[in-house]
């Protein structure tokens, strides 16, 4: 599908260079953490200058776990939007919006649900991992809604981690099935895989709110230091002076992101025992806090301007809705379901 109509909706400098569309989404779970920042947000900030970009806060997806308490979604959406903006996403260069404010997501989800079998969905990794905790139809159909999210904007690529590759395959497959059954409407999206640093939490597992091992962006500097001091350390390095093993240490992994020259400045004295874990963690905290300071300052400014944040989401939804309607017009036409427009 030709993306030239995008140029009418965006006025940021340099947009004429953009040729392809990407869709990024994140469940609104409140304020974000360092793992989100390094695993996704920094990459999105870079990509907004290269692609037509839609950044979606997927609140309908969040309902798979939050359906009993949807009242938490409003504040979670607000806090996440604040973090998106504080990290550098620019509403002049990308559309930032809430999924449920563009109803076409649900329409395309319904259409795609006719093109997929239940056994296919039950073989997907996410279902197999969580089927004991979540057993609703909404959870089973989650990947179909995800495919609709992507194809609704006719995205060419989706920036994701390798663990999401199966879901991108499903979006590609559904787009291909639709194109074969009716006529070509959709690009067949592919994953945009980029190198992201491994970010582990305080307990040496993947950084996650659900493990309570994370470093929230809204932590104060003192809270950050306290959390880093609680980090897992090398069990073989019991006393200062004992040789350490930086490879695989979650503190050293963060040093590699936030400490310039960590391989030369941190790893050798750790291995020799010259650098103790307490000093190592203090240095990390200093560097991490320095790197996060501009984001936290911007975050404080945005929290004082809630109307602005909601206006950004409203404007983003307007822009997303315009694109979604164009695509859905083509979908209905291909399926001969634009009844008033079809004379046969």
Residues 6+ apart with CB under 8 A from 47: 22, 24, 53, 159, 192
Residue 14 counted as domain residue: yes
Does a structural domain hold residue 165?
Answer: yes
CATH number of 95's domain:
3.40.50.620
Question: Is residue 211 included in any domain, yes or no?
Answer: no
The catalytic position among 103, 166, 184, 209 is 209
In a domain, 160, yes or no: yes
Answer yes or no: do 151 and 227 share one domain.
Answer: no
Q: Which helix or strand (DSSP H or E) is residue 322 part of?
A: helix 306-334
173 and 254 share a domain? no
**Are residues 259 and 140 part of one domain?**
no
Same domain for 152 and 10: yes
Same domain, 136 and 283: no
Q: Determine whether 342 is exposed, middle or buried from the number of CB atoms within 10 Å of its CB (0-12, 13-18, 19+).
A: exposed
Q: What is the DSSP string of 165-227?
A: HHHHHHHHHHHHHHHHHS---S---EEE-------B-TTSSBP-GGGT---BTT--HHHHHHH
Same domain, 68 and 159: yes
User: Is 342 part of any domain?
Assistant: no
176 in the same domain as 72: yes
Catalytic residue among 130, 166, 184, 229: 130
Best CA proximity match to 221, nearest among 298, 290, 294: 290
Domain assignment present for residue 151? The answer is yes
Number of folded domains in the chain?
2
115 falls within a domain: yes
Tokens of 190: 């592919």
Q: Is 295 within 8 Å of 305 (Cβ atoms)?
A: no
- 115 and 72 inside one domain: yes
What does the alpha-carbon distance between residue 265 and residue 269 come to, in Å, rounded to a whole number? 7
Residues 143 and 32 in one domain: yes
In the annotation, is 157 catalytic? no
184 burial type by CB count under 10 A (0-12 exposed, 13-18 middle, 19+ buried): middle
209 is catalytic: yes
Residues 255 and 268 both lie in one domain? yes
From 19, 103, 166, 206, active-site residue = 206
Digitized pLDDT (tens) for each residue of the chain, 344 residues in all: 344 444 333 333 345 556 899 999 999 999 999 999 999 999 999 999 999 999 999 999 999 888 899 999 999 999 999 999 999 999 999 999 999 999 999 999 999 999 999 999 988 877 888 877 777 889 899 999 999 999 999 999 999 877 778 779 999 999 999 999 999 999 999 999 877 888 999 999 999 998 999 999 999 999 999 999 999 988 888 777 889 899 889 999 999 999 999 999 999 999 999 999 999 999 999 999 999 999 999 999 999 999 999 999 999 999 999 999 999 999 999 999 988 865 55
Token digits for 134?
């979540």
Query: pLDDT value at position 166?
Result: 79
The CATH number of whichever domain residue 251 belongs to comes to: 1.10.240.10
Q: What is the pTM of this model?
A: 0.90
| Structural domain for 279, as ranges | 219-301
- In this structure, the answer to whether residues 280 and 313 fall within a common structural domain is no
Please say if 131 is a catalytic residue: no
Considering the domain architecture, whether residues 173 and 74 belong to the same structural domain is answered as yes
pLDDT computed for residue 240 by the predictor: 75
Distance CA 135, CA 74 (A): 25
Q: What is the largest CA-CA distance in the chain?
A: 84
**What was the pLDDT predicted at 338?**
86
Within-domain flag for 341: no
């Amino acid at each position: 599908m030709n993306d030239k109509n995008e140029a009418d909706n965006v006025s940021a400098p340099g947009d004429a260079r953009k040729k392809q569309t990407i869709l990024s989404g994140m469940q609104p779970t409140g304020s974000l953490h360092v793992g989100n920042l390094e695993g996704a947000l920094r990459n999105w900030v870079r990509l907004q200058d290269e692609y037509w970009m839609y950044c979606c806060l997927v609140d309908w997806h969040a309902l798979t776990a939050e359906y009993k308490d949807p009242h938490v979604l409003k504040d979670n959406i607000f806090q996440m939007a604040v973090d998106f903006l504080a990290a550098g996403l620019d509403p002049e260069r990308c559309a930032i919006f809430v999924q449920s404010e563009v109803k076409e997501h649900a329409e395309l989800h319904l259409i795609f649900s006719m093109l997929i079998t239940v056994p296919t969905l039950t073989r997907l990794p996410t279902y197999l991992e969580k089927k004991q905790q979540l057993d609703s139809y909404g959870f089973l159909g989650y990947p179909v809604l995800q495919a609709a999210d992507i194809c609704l904007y006719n995205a060419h690529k989706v920036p994701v981690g390798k663990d999401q590759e199966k879901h991108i395959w499903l979006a590609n497959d559904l787009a291909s099935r639709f194109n074969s059954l009716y006529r070509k409407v959709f690009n067949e999206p592919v994953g945009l895989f980029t190198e992201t640093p491994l970010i582990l939490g305080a307990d040496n597992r993947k950084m996650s709110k659900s493990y309570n091992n994370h470093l929230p962006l809204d932590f104060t500097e003192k809270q950050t230091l306290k959390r880093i001091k609680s980090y897992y350390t090398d069990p073989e390095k019991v006393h200062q002076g004992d040789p350490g093993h930086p490879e695989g240490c979650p503190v050293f992994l963060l040093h590699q992101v936030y400490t310039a020259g960590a391989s030369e400045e941190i790893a050798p004295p750790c291995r020799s025992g010259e650098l103790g874990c307490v000093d190592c963690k203090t240095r990390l905290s200093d560097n991490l806090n320095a790197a996060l300071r501009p984001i936290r300052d911007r975050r404080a400014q945005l929290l004082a301007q809630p109307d602005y944040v909601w206006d950004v989401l409203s404007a983003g939804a307007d822009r997303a809705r315009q694109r979604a309607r164009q695509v859905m017009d083509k979908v209905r036409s291909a399926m001969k379901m634009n009844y008033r427009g079809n004379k046969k």
